[in-house]
Chains A and B, each alone.
Chain A
Amino acid sequence: MKRYLAPITFAFFAILAGCSSTVPRELSSAREAYRRASTGHAARVAPAKLHVANQALAKAEVAYQDDPESYRARDLAYVAERKAELAEVAASIALAKKSKVDANNEYQSTQGKLVSETKQDLSETRNELAASERSGQRTAERLSEEQKARSAADERAASALAKLAAVKEDSRGTIITLSGSVLFASNRSTLLPDARTRLDQVAAVLLDTRERNIVIEGHTDSRGSDRSNLELSQQRADAVRNYLVQRDYQADRIQARGLGETQPVAGNTSAEGRANNRRVEIIIERESRTSSR
């Protein structure tokens, strides 16, 4: 019933207005303002203010009926117009407040959701990190074990080699020196039968360290020409290399080079010194590298 009150009142006064001759500008403005307010948000959001506006308009209409020309009728109509505008503004304020409250609630809700998601992400990241750390630890442990195993193999190899030939360490790695007279006949590059036995034993040790690169160097004494010594030393180094490759050592990890008489380890004036200079050195390098002949 209440919702129909405003339009009925408005219609009533409109009829009254129709009967009158000249309606003051203030009153027609008040009627229009009230019509606007009562058909807008104010009816729903600010009914109390709209009611006040309705009463103010009724008062103005009565004053107008009493004396259409009176200043009082005009002033009351002016006030009624302001009251109607006030009702509209009150509705606008209420809607703005609601909008603000809704936005703040949405902000809180969104922020809460984001915090929750961030916590979830953080938790997942922590789990991933922990898993990664565990994996890293396992890898480190495995590498450490492999390192230990390699060191042990190196030690075993060095010990075994020491029993077969002269072994020494320098910056290049482990150097196994085999006497030339044990491996080859004089001025020949064909391996002697005994040499094969000795090289079999050396190869067995080398195969334990097959991931290392090997350099085989042939050396001669100073007798003969430089050229012939160089050729001979190269042929002998090649012979040893070929034999080790036959024994399953990776070919691309073995280099052979003849150095002739250029790197003596003893004087060439005595027979003993020359015998020491005639030699083949097998160098097991420290660093692994990809190599070919």
Chain B
Amino acid sequence: MLLDNNRRFVVRSFSLSLIVGSLGCASAPLHTEGSSSSIRAAEEVGAAKVPRAGLHLQLAKEELQKAKRLEEEGEKEEASSMLMRSEADAELAVALSRDERERAEGRAAVEKVRQLRMNNRPSSGANPSSNEGGTL
């Protein structure tokens, strides 16, 4: 009898904790921090000025808004899933901006070498139209 009471208590406690737990999960706010901070990072590296990066930044923002709207509509799982899209787009926007910067710096470095070589080209071969030493 005592054992039955204890078992009942355990079962009730477990059921209660499950209900409380599921209620807690249902009311947990949407974690938009990851997406928001990725969007901020993309803005800070100048994604808006790089066409392809700007497009993904815009998508990330729209998806964040959509996730918030879904949350308001009670579609929490769908909202969380949408946030993944937002974060992935923001992350890609950051990478595309860095790529653009790195490539610009690479081009500038190559141009610097080209200029250095051009400015220090031996003068003997500088004037191909010269007739010195040749017959006219």
- Residues of chain A touching chain B, judged by Cβ–Cβ distance below 8 Å, are 71-72, 75-76, 78-79, 82-83, 85-86, 89-90, 92-93, 96-97, 99-100, 103-104, 106-107, 110-111, 114
Say if the beta carbon of B62 comes within 8 Å of chain A. Answer: no
Check A92–B99 contact: CB distance below 8 A.
Answer: yes
A-B contact pairs, 10 of them (CB 8 A): A71-B81, A72-B81, A79-B88, A82-B89, A86-B95, A92-B99, A92-B103, A93-B98, A93-B102, A106-B113
Give, as a whole number of angstroms, the nearest-CB distance from B33 to chain A. Answer: 18
Check B85–A107 contact: CB distance below 8 A.
Answer: no
Check A99–B110 contact: CB distance below 8 A.
Answer: yes
**A79 and B102 alpha carbons, distance in the complex (Å):** 25
CB-nearest residue of chain B to A82: B88
Check B99–A103 contact: CB distance below 8 A.
Answer: no
**A101 and B119 alpha carbons, distance in the complex (Å):** 22
Residues of chain B within 8 A (CB-CB) of A104 are 109
Check A82–B91 contact: CB distance below 8 A.
Answer: yes
Query: Given A76-B84, A79-B85, A82-B89, A103–B106 Cβ distance below 8 Å?
Result: yes
Give, as a whole number of angstroms, the nearest-CB distance from A65 to chain B. Answer: 17
Give, as a whole number of angstroms, the nearest-CB distance from A87 to chain B. Answer: 10
Check A96–B116 contact: CB distance below 8 A.
Answer: no
- The 4 residue pairs across chains A and B that have the minimum distance between CB atoms: A103-B109, A82-B88, A96-B102, A99-B106
Say if the beta carbon of B72 comes within 8 Å of chain A. Answer: no
Residues of chain A within 8 A (CB-CB) of B112 are 103, 107
**A78 and B106 alpha carbons, distance in the complex (Å):** 31
CB-nearest residue of chain A to B111: A103
List B residues 87-118 near A (Cβ within 8 Å). Answer: 88-89, 91-92, 95-96, 98-99, 102-103, 105-106, 109-110, 112-113, 116-117
Check B103–A110 contact: CB distance below 8 A.
Answer: no
**A93 and B103 alpha carbons, distance in the complex (Å):** 7
**A278 and B23 alpha carbons, distance in the complex (Å):** 151
Q: Which of B56, B96, B109 contacts A99 (CB 8 A)?
A: B109
A-B contact sample (16 more), CB < 8 A, given A76-B81, A78-B88, A103-B112: A75-B81, A75-B82, A79-B85, A85-B92, A86-B91, A92-B103, A96-B99, A96-B105, A97-B102, A97-B106, A99-B109, A103-B109, A103-B110, A107-B116, A110-B117, A110-B120
Check A90–B84 contact: CB distance below 8 A.
Answer: no
Residue of A92, A96, A110, A114 contacting most chain B CB atoms (<10 Å): A96
Say if the beta carbon of B78 comes within 8 Å of chain A. Answer: yes
Give, as a whole number of angstroms, the nearest-CB distance from A59 to chain B. Answer: 10
Give, as a whole number of angstroms, the nearest-CB distance from A250 to chain B. Answer: 42
Residues of chain B within 8 A (CB-CB) of A89 are 92, 95-96, 99
Please encode chain B, from 48 to 78, with 1 for each CB lying within 8 Å of some chain A CB and 0 for all others: 0000000010000000000000000000011
Check B95–A93 contact: CB distance below 8 A.
Answer: yes
Residue of B56, B96, B102 contacting most chain A CB atoms (<10 Å): B102
**A269 and B78 alpha carbons, distance in the complex (Å):** 147
Query: Given A93-B99, A96-B99, A107–B106 Cβ distance below 8 Å?
Result: no
**A114 and B91 alpha carbons, distance in the complex (Å):** 44
Check B116–A90 contact: CB distance below 8 A.
Answer: no
CB-nearest residue of chain A to B53: A89
**A109 and B102 alpha carbons, distance in the complex (Å):** 22
Residues of chain B within 8 A (CB-CB) of A76 are 81, 84
Residues of chain A within 8 A (CB-CB) of B116 are 107, 110-111, 114
Check A86–B85 contact: CB distance below 8 A.
Answer: no
Residues of chain A within 8 A (CB-CB) of B106 are 96-97, 99-100, 103
**A72 and B75 alpha carbons, distance in the complex (Å):** 12
Give, as a whole number of angstroms, the nearest-CB distance from A205 to chain B. Answer: 53
Residues of chain A within 8 A (CB-CB) of B109 are 99-100, 103-104, 107
Give, as a whole number of angstroms, the nearest-CB distance from B112 to chain A. Answer: 6
Q: Which of B78, B82, B88, B95 contacts A90 (CB 8 A)?
A: B95
Give, as a whole number of angstroms, the nearest-CB distance from B123 to chain A. Answer: 12
Give, as a whole number of angstroms, the nearest-CB distance from A218 to chain B. Answer: 58
